Structure 1
């Protein structure tokens, strides 16, 4: 498992202001991250894990096409899309 890499990526997104008020990335960003780190991702309690995995697997390619990346570092935060905007508008 790559828990440390996953945690750093999510932390970097939050530090760059690319998460919502609760610290969660947007849907497509989350799908890309969940797809990259399936063993370390945190899942919601509102839907079965297999449903969340299926949705992430379906949305991750779209997110990647739009420029979202799974791995972020605290120094590379400017290379990913801004919260609430598409990657092409940054």
Structure 2
């Protein structure tokens, strides 16, 4: 069941490309973004493989954002894991 609205309320960098996300329903998930970033051939995505850039994320309006919205993920997608990073990359 898709929640009507869900927001990320906190995010913590817990190692390399992994973030601990805390949602407003008190649930938490650790998500590893490395497969998604590594499998992309697009230079605008691959730039986030630089750990100093990757770690410069922020939460904006409950979603996860990097740069000037150069890379962003809706909270509901991360909450539901509606997509599989590995499957999308053929891993």
TM-score, scaled to structure 1: 0.28
TM-score, scaled relative to structure 2: 0.28
Q: Could you say which structure has the higher helix fraction? A: 1
Structure with more strand by fraction: 2
Higher RCO, 1 or 2 (CA under 8 Å, sep at least 6)?
1
